Structure 1
Amino acid sequence: MANKFICTLLLIAVCAKSISADGIENGNATTISAHPYVVAIQVTDGTRVCEGALIDSNVVVTTAQCLANYDASQLVVSVNNSQIVSIAKSTFDGNFDDTTMEYDVAVLKLAEEVSLDTIELASEEPATGASGVVTGWSSSGALVDVSESIISASDCVSGEYTYEEGDVLSSMLCGLAANKACDALPGSPLVANNQLVGLVSWGYGCANSANPAVFTNIASVKSWVDQTVESL
């Protein structure tokens, strides 16, 4: 199995245990009004460390690595590109493995409700070849989109790409980014057909046809998210 501690992503340039991306490079400018569900997870000095998606008025879904690598009590959530909201409760999937990056998903309950449009969780994973969009902030602080061609886990390890059998698991999806985009933060949402289908998780290298980005497969973890939201 290839070592997932190698610094990552076609779309991320992050290490599995060391989040170091500064923001998306080569994305296309967009606005928060077009993607009101996109949130930044940041430390108190304003530095973004992860991103996420608002799935209810006071619930954000993001990646487990965000909570595994940071003390949640030191994090806040920026919504609507400026409003800062505290985190009341948080948890990540107990099956998360920081070596394989399996089940890289977490839920944050905000300390207050926000009046913004949310995004629906996908119940079915998109087929290989489906189009999606990752949205996140650039290193300069601008919100940008990256077009993605989605690839199923099985197709991602078929031999056409860098990944080997056992690298990309059922809780994951892959995606090839347009414009050789790089450096999205973990948790950046991947949306297709107006549903959240993935969260930026890990990968190898940066922006070439052999190295798709790897995303948490939302359809595969939806039941855990739903149950967790009810119990928080």
Structure 2
Amino acid sequence: MANQLVYGLLLLTTATAASAAAGIEGGAPANISDRSYLISFHDENGIPVCAGALIKKNIAVTAGSCFAFHNGWKFAVGVLGGTKFLKVSDYTFSARFSYNTWENDIAVLRLTESVEANYLTLASQPRPTGTSAVLTGWDANNTVVDVDETIISAKDCVSGKYKYKEGEVFDSMLCGLAKDAACGALPGSPLVSGNKLIGLASWGNGCGDKGNPGIFTNIESFKSWIQNLQNKLFAGKKYKN
């Protein structure tokens, strides 16, 4: 269980200190107009620390760790490829988020303005082993890139083939094995399959590269929670977790 905490702290330290220099490795350039749901979160120093995805005109989801470890009210949220920056109007992250195991790594937020983009639909069905997916984020040159991923079962993920043990991968998580290196993805980077948002980059042992899976928030397991929140946030109502 300590692996998640150690990795999460390293991930956050790396994102804070060197995000401008680091980035996804091994990705293929993507057209931002086709990935206009992709958003970025910049801290008060202008450093990108997280990513996320738009699911409505002013509602987005990201990793809960982004708000657990950063002051969300100070975020500048880059939309439409960073051509515009907005502020966070309201947000909440799961009260069940674990700082030790990284379970329930999910947050929902409302932006101060609407964005005309290709919003993502939330996955409503579990994705079986072998499902193809695409992780989207930025490389070291700030180019939007895609990384091909294959979903593997939690049982397989902790079977001994990889660097994970029993008790480290939970129902709130997905394992995704990258075709090429996927190290450097910001927390909250969206994982999409069949035009559905199925996951958000959360943590990993070895950055999800060299044949080792990355761990993603399992969106399907949070669909009802997200929809309940988005209805309140979309209506402009304050939500207390």
Tell whether the 8 Å contact from 1:16 to 1:99 is kept in structure 2 after alignment.
no
CA deviation vs aligned residue, 1:122-181 (integer Å, no higher than 9, x gap): 011211111000000112111100000111223212232221111000000001112223
Aligned residue in 1 for 2:10:
15
Q: Which runs of 5+ in 2 are unaligned?
A: 234-241
CA distance in 1, matches of 2:112, 2:28: 32
CA distance in 1, matches of 2:70, 2:104: 17
> Which one scores higher on RCO, CA 8 angstroms, separation ≥ 6?
1
Aligned-pair CA distance for 1:19: 5.0
Matched, 1:42 2:37: no
Structure 1 range deviating more: 22-31 or 116-125: 22-31
Detail structure 1 runs of 4+ shifted over 6 Å in the superposition: none
- Amino acid paired to 2:136: T
Q: How many residues align?
A: 226
Aligned residue in 1 for 2:157:
156
CA deviation vs aligned residue, 1:47-102 (integer Å, no higher than 9, x gap): 21100000000001000000011101110211111111111001101000011000
CA distance in 1, matches of 2:95, 2:11: 17
Tell whether the 8 Å contact from 2:63 to 2:188 is kept in structure 1 after alignment.
yes
Q: Secondary structure at the match of 1:226?
A: helix
Aligned residue in 2 for 1:220:
221
CA distance in 1, matches of 2:172, 2:223: 10
Q: Secondary structure at the match of 2:10?
A: coil
Mapping for residues 24-173 of structure 1, pairs under 5 Å: 24-81=24-81, 82-173=83-174
Q: Secondary structure at the match of 1:56?
A: coil
Matched, 1:179 2:141: no
Q: Which protein has the bigger helix share?
A: 2
CA distance in 1, matches of 2:57, 2:25: 30
Q: Secondary structure at the match of 2:34?
A: coil
CA deviation vs aligned residue, 1:1-41 (integer Å, no higher than 9, x gap): 45223337xxxxx6366453532122111121121111111
CA distance in 2, matches of 1:19, 1:227: 33
Q: 1:155 to 1:116 in 2, by over 3 A?
A: same
Tell whether the 8 Å contact from 1:2 to 1:163 is kept in structure 2 after alignment.
no
Q: Which runs of 5+ in 1 are unaligned?
A: 9-13
Tell whether the 8 Å contact from 2:5 to 2:101 is kept in structure 1 after alignment.
no
Structure 1 range deviating more: 34-43 or 185-194: 34-43
CA distance in 2, matches of 1:96, 1:126: 22
If the length of structure 2 is used for normalisation, what is the TM-score? 0.89
Residue 208 of structure 1, aligned match among 200, 207, 210 = 210
If the length of structure 1 is used for normalisation, what is the TM-score? 0.92
Structure 1 range deviating more: 100-109 or 148-157: 148-157
- Amino acid paired to 1:123: S
Tell whether the 8 Å contact from 2:74 to 2:87 is kept in structure 1 after alignment.
no
- Amino acid paired to 1:184: A
Backbone CA RMSD of aligned residues: 1.6
Aligned residue in 1 for 2:236:
none
CA distance in 2, matches of 1:208, 1:201: 18
Q: Secondary structure at the match of 1:40?
A: strand
Aligned residue in 2 for 1:11:
none
